[in-house]
Structure 1
Amino acid sequence: MSRFLRASILMLLLSSCGGGNFSAPRDLDNACSIVRERPEYYRAMKASERKWGVPVHVQMATIHQESKFIGDAKTPHNYLLGVIPIGRQSSAYGYSQALDGTWEEYQDEQRRRGARRDRISDATDFMGWYMDQTEKKLGISKWDARAHYLAYHEGRTGYARGSYNDKPWLLAVSQKVADRAEMYRGQLASCRR
C-alpha cells in the first residue's frame, strides 16, 4: 500500500472521529420520528422538563424554529457591498441559538462553565432555564409556545415593551412555532403508546 493511500485512510479515520453529529433528523415534521432517530434529544428535553417545567413539545418547536435541530447552526453572514463577508448577523449559535452574553449569564448563574451550545442536553437545559426566568419575570405560562418564542426572540425587555408588535413577520413566525408545538404535542402523545 502506498504511503499516500495510508496517509489518506488515516486522515479519513481521524476526521470521522472529530466533532459530534450536528445534522438535523430526517423528518422534522414528525416528533415520533425525531425521538426514534435521536433518543438523546428526547432524554435531554425530558430532563429539562423535569428540572424547569417547560414541556417537551414547546422546547421542540422552539429548537425547530431556531436551528432546525442542527447542533452547530450559526446566523448568516453580513456582507459589505453585497459580496465581502464582514461577520455574522449575531453571536447566536447551536441548537438553541443562544447569544454569547445570554449563554455566559446561564453558565455563570447555573455554575455550568463547561456547558456547550452544540450539546443538546446543555441547549435544552439553557432553554428551560431561560423560559423559567421568563415565566417568573413576565408571567408567561410555560405551555404558551407563541409568547415564549416572542420573548425568546426579542429578549424579555423587548417583549415587555411589545417590540414584536412592529414586526408582522415575527408574529407570523411565533404563530408557526405555536402551531408546531401543538402538532408535536399531539404526535408525542400518540407515539408513546
Structure 2
Amino acid sequence: MSRASGAALILCLAMLTGCTSAPPKDQGDLCSIYRQYPRWYKDSLKMQSEWGTPMHVAMAIMKQESSFIADARPPRAYFLWVIPWGRVSSSYGYAQAQDPAWSDYRKNTGKGGSRDNFADALMFIGWYTAATHRQLGISRADAYNQYLAYHDGRGGYRRGTYRNKPWLMKVARKVAQQSHTYGAQLNQCRRELERNRSWFPFF
C-alpha cells in the first residue's frame, strides 16, 4: 500500500472514530487508548498546551467521571422509590460537567462545543483544573486534590466538605493512582505517538 493510500485509509478511520461514542477497549492503559483513538492524543496535547494541565491527570479525571462514555448521565432519582423523577444532578457527558459549570466555561472562554464531544469535554477539564490552580493554589499535576475540588466544587473544597466523605477521598486516591499509572505509560509510548502524529498530521 502506498503512503498516500495508507493516509487516505487512516483519514477515513479517523473520521469514523470521531463520531463514535464507544469507550476505549482498555481504559487502564493510556497508550492503548491513544492508539485506538489517535485523535484523542492530539486533543490532549491541545488541552495541555492551552491550560497547562498534564494530559494524564485530565484523562484520569475523565475516566473516573464517565468511563469515557460520551453521553454518560448520573442515575435517576425516584419518587417513593418507584416513580422516576429526573436525575440526581445535571451532570452530563465525558467530563460529567453540570449545567452551571458548563455555562460558566462557555461564557468565560467564548467556546461552544458539546459535553458529549471528547475534545470539548477535555478542554472543560483543563479549564476547570487551571482555574482551581489559580484560585486554590492546587498544582495542576496534583490529581488527588484536583479531583476533590472537581467533585465538591472549589467552595466545597475550601470548606473541607470532602473530609466528611471517606468514600470521596478513597475515589480521589484512585484517581491519583490512575493518573500516576497513565503518566508512566505515556512516558513509554510518547515517542511512538509523536512519530505517528508527524506521519499523519491530520490526527
Query: Same fold per TM (> 0.5)?
Result: yes
Residue pairs, 1:55-66, within 5 angstroms: 55-66=54-65
Describe how 1:1-193 pairs up with structure 2 within 5 A.
20-112=19-111, 114-193=112-191
Report the CA distance between 1:81 and its aligned residue.
2.2
Question: Secondary structure in 1 aligned to 2:19?
Answer: coil
Residue by residue, what CA displacement relative to the aligned partner does 1:96-117 show, whole Å, maximum 9, x if unpaired? 10000010011011112x3111
One-letter identity of the residue aligned with 1:131: T
Please list the CA deviations of residues 51-74 of structure 1 after superposition, one character each: whole Å capped at 9, or x if unmatched: 000001001100000000111111
Instruction: Return the offset for 1:80.
Output: 1.6
- What TM-score does the superposition give when structure 2 sets the normalisation length? 0.84
For structure 1, list consecutive stretches of 5 or more residues without a partner in the other structure. 1-16
The superposition leaves residues 135-181 of structure 1 with CA deviations (integer Å, 9 ceiling, x where unpaired) of 01000000000000000000000001000000000000000000000
Return the index of the structure with the highest Cα Rg: 1
Query: How many percent of aligned residue pairs carry the same amino acid?
Result: 47
1:158 partner letter: G
Give 1:23 shift.
1.7
- After superposition, the CA RMSD in angstroms is 1.3
CA distance in 1, matches of 2:164, 2:53: 27
- The TM-score with structure 1 as length reference comes to 0.88
1: CA distance, partners of 2:35 / 2:117:
18
What is the letter of the counterpart of residue 118 of structure 1? D
Query: Mind listing any 5+ residue stretches in structure 2 that lack a counterpart?
Result: 1-15, 192-203
Helix, strand or coil for the counterpart of 1:86? strand
Find the aligned partners of 1:192 and 1:143 in 2 and give their Cα distance: 18
Write the letter of the residue equivalent to 1:31.
L
Shift of 1:20: 3.2
Between the aligned partners of 2:38 and 2:158, the Cα distance in structure 1 is: 36
Q: Which amino acid aligns with 1:92?
A: S
Runs of 4+ aligned structure 1 residues displaced above 4 Å come to none
- Distance in 2 of aligned mates of 1:141 and 1:179: 16
